[in-house]
Amino acid sequence: MESTMKEMRGGESVLDMDPKSTVGGGVEDVYGEDCATEDQLLTPWTYSVASGYSLLRDPHHNKGLAFTETERDSHYLRGLLPPTVVTQQLQEKKLMASIRKYQVPLQKYMAMMELQERNERLFYKLLIDNVEELLPVVYTPTVGEACQKYGSIFRRPQGLYISLKEKGKVLDVLKNWPERSIQVIVVTDGERILGLGDLGCQGMGIPVGKLSLYTALGGVRPSACLPVTVDVGTNNEALLKDEFYIGLKQRRATGQEYADLLHEFMTAVKQNYGEKVLIQFEDFANHNAFTLLAKYGTTHLVFNDDIQGTASVVLAGVVAALKLIGGTLADHRFLFLGAGEAGTGIAELIALEMSKQTKAPLEETRKKIWLVDSKGLIVSSRKDSLQHFKKPWAHEHEPVKNLLGAVQAIKPTVLIGSSGVGRTFTKEIIETVASFNEKPLIMALSNPTSQSECTAEEAYTWSQGRAIFASGSPFDPFEYNGKLFVPGQANNAYIFPGFGLGLVISGAIRVHDDMLLAASEALAKQVSEENYDKGLIYPPFSNIRKISANIAANVAAKAYELGVATRLPRPVNLLKYAESCMYSPVYRSFR
Ligand SMILES: NC(=O)C1=CN([C@@H]2O[C@H](COP(=O)(O)OP(=O)(O)OC[C@H]3O[C@@H](n4cnc5c(N)ncnc54)[C@H](OP(=O)(O)O)[C@@H]3O)[C@@H](O)[C@H]2O)C=CC1
Ligand SMILES: CC(=O)C(=O)O
Ligand SMILES: [Mg+2]
């Protein structure tokens, strides 16, 4: 019996392989989640075989000139394509050459979106093979500009739009989506798009971009990903007046009306896709983000990327940085500019990890962390007027009006920007931090690049080459005094794809803070000596698939340990299992 269970196939235990994973096709719907509840009315779905002209117009199956002679014969493609047959590699080479010719990032973005709509596998092949070059195109910073101009560049709808007009019909709207077996949903209401504010319905670029990373970086099948924008209006005056605006032209619904639509959406998702679909909240304003996470955290598999994913990636960077700046986590003093989702989320996870390491109570470890918001340092005398998520950070201290005053008073060893406001780490601030730290750790997390608290050049120059620097949006390497400094990218894109994969492959039904710590630990371990030598505190994105598999394995292991995993039996080797489940964009052969 034991030997049957552990039968080796190609050197791997069968328990390490997903019995239903298709070669290079990603993990299938192994949990049978697409039929949700028994009393639910089902739509009689039919599928037909795409062939001929419609096959060329189907982005999931289209291969363009890479259709073989046999496929052209058997799928009625003769004459619909020019005679040459090329490899996927040649298609990739040609497309990269044409994308590189565009000088304007938004043109590159549009070329990539057009490719995604035309030939999905080629899109992912390009993105995976050229991740460091294309990440800034499909993700921050360019995706920010794309959202700002979404109305005018909009060609074909991407994702699912659920607006107030669909109130009472959300389940029907979900059924309009062509895919049945959804594993990950990224949803926004567009109110806090990166550091660009309220972009209303045009925020759709963010769920679309995040989910393309779920596939490219984390290996979740594209057909299992659903981007959603909930449109409750916008308070952006320019958009309300814009004749090309694609969303509801009304001011944002709030209170009960807002809560009701969100609740209908959350209920419909569970009803339609079951218990194990991951719902990632993205770029909600903080007055809704914390409430939604708390409200649905006990009933749904929910994850807030801005609060939790960001916390996990920053903790990983800080832990990795200890090799360069010295000391233990608890030896450091942290100061944040920005006390919203990102700032307080990161602060809480750092305090939790410190508490686990030192066995000191959370209330004590929080005291090592200070935050500044738009009104100054968060201190106890402000407690009554603070939003609930800031209250744990209201430590005893006299009021301090601004960041410079706070830097002088707190003398942080780690300075983190999470304000959404660009160029707020001024020369004076960086010089002051550098005056009492041999190696100050400076993280300018705000996106896109225009909102970064400082540039890499500023951080290195003003600290005379002593800063360890990472930023939310990428900066080029910078040479200072003959030495090349390579800035790291502290972005939750390191975490959420692998984190989500870990939840999917273990069939987890709830997210727990310990899973965020597990993801963080796995990421920090991937930083090599070679990376440290360049001053990097994150591994390069070129290794992201391996990094994501490691994160997924660690997260899944934690899910099993916590008893929230439902995929049984537990695969013996979770890393191999995670790898076996990852989608590959290589073309499949058609019979
Ligand atoms: N690198 C990454 O992976 C991530 C980066 N981010 C980025 O972080 C930024 C903030 O996001 P998020 O936390 O969700 O936003 P929130 O709106 O929740 O928080 C912003 C915080 O910054 C404070 N703030 C705003 N302006 C100033 C100012 N001039 N001086 C001091 N404090 C200020 C606000 O103060 P007050 O509360 O008083 O209004 C608030 O506390 C965004 O740019 C986002 O793109 C977010 C998630 C991930
Ligand atoms: C990266 C990200 O999630 C943000 O800037 O909102
Ligand atoms: Mg975000």
Asked if 157 and 251 touch (Cβ cutoff 8 Å), the reply is: no
pLDDT class of 45 with cuts at 50, 70, 90: low
Give the atom of ligand 2 at the shortest distance from the alpha carbon of 493: 1
d(CA 4, ligand 2 centre) in Å: 47
Residue 587 annotated in active site: no
Q: What is the pLDDT of residues 338-354, one digit of tens each?
A: 999 999 999 999 999 99
192 annotated as a binding-site residue: yes
DSSP 397: -
Q: Best of 135, 188, 419, 443 to mutate for ligand 1, by most ligand atoms within 8 A of CB? A: 419
Quote the pLDDT of residue 49: 76
Kindly state which CATH superfamily the domain 308-493 is placed in. Answer: NAD(P)-binding Rossmann-like Domain (3.40.50.720)
Average pLDDT over residues 237-266: 97
Quote the pLDDT of residue 120: 97
Asked if 342 and 423 touch (Cβ cutoff 8 Å), the reply is: no
447 annotated as a binding-site residue: yes
176 annotated as a binding-site residue: no
d(CA 150, ligand 3 centre) in Å: 17
Residues near ligand 1 with C-beta < 6 Å? 192, 194-195, 286, 306, 310, 313, 337-343, 372-375, 418-421, 424, 445-447, 451, 472, 490-492
Give the atom of ligand 1 at the shortest distance from the alpha carbon of 421: 26
Quote the pLDDT of residue 33: 35
Give the atom of ligand 1 at the shortest distance from the alpha carbon of 473: 1
User: Which-ligand-closest: CA of 341?
Assistant: 1
Quick one: what percent of the chain has pLDDT higher than 90?
A: 89
d(CA 305, ligand 1 centre) in Å: 14
Residue 440: cis peptide before it, omega within 30 degrees of 0: no
Name which of 152, 259, 167, 151 is nearest 200 in CA terms.
Answer: 151
Quote the pLDDT of residue 154: 74
Average pLDDT over residues 470-498: 97
pLDDT class of 43 with cuts at 50, 70, 90: low
d(CA 494, ligand 3 centre) in Å: 13
466 annotated as a binding-site residue: no
pLDDT class of 18 with cuts at 50, 70, 90: low
Quote the pLDDT of residue 24: 45
Quote the pLDDT of residue 135: 98
Q: What is the pLDDT of residues 346-403, one digit of tens each?
A: 999 999 999 999 999 999 999 999 999 999 999 999 999 999 999 999 999 999 999 9
The reply to whether 308-493 shares the fold of 91-300 is: yes
- Among candidate residues 31, 139, 150, 296, the one labeled active-site is 139
pLDDT class of 591 with cuts at 50, 70, 90: confident
pLDDT class of 32 with cuts at 50, 70, 90: very low
Residues near ligand 2 with C-beta < 6 Å? 140, 194, 283, 305-306, 447, 472, 491-492
Residue 391 annotated in active site: no
Q: How far is CA 570 from CA 14, 164, 561, 565, 581, in A?
A: 12, 42, 10, 9, 14
Quote the pLDDT of residue 40: 59
Q: Whose CA is nearest to atom 6 of ligand 2?
A: 194
Mean confidence (pLDDT) of the chain: 93
Domain ranges of the chain: 12-86, 91-300, 308-493
User: Which-ligand-closest: CA of 140?
Assistant: 2
What CATH architecture applies to the domain 91-300? 3-Layer(aba) Sandwich (3.40)
Q: Which residues contact 261 (CB under 8 A, 6 or more apart)?
A: 162, 164, 167, 170, 230, 232, 253
Distance CA 382, CA 364 (A): 19
Q: What is the pLDDT of residues 433-468, one digit of tens each?
A: 999 999 999 999 999 999 999 999 999 999 999 999
d(CA 194, ligand 2 centre) in Å: 5
ipTM of the complex: 0.99
Quote the pLDDT of residue 11: 42
Q: What is the pLDDT of residues 120-177, one digit of tens each?
A: 999 999 999 999 999 999 999 999 999 999 988 877 788 999 999 999 999 999 999 9
d(CA 280, ligand 3 centre) in Å: 10
- Among candidate residues 63, 108, 125, 210, the one labeled active-site is 210
User: Which-ligand-closest: CA of 382?
Assistant: 1
Distance CA 106, CA 129 (A): 20
Instruction: Give the DSSP per-residue string, 521-563.
Output: HHHHHT--HHHHHTT-SS--GGGHHHHHHHHHHHHHHHHHHHT
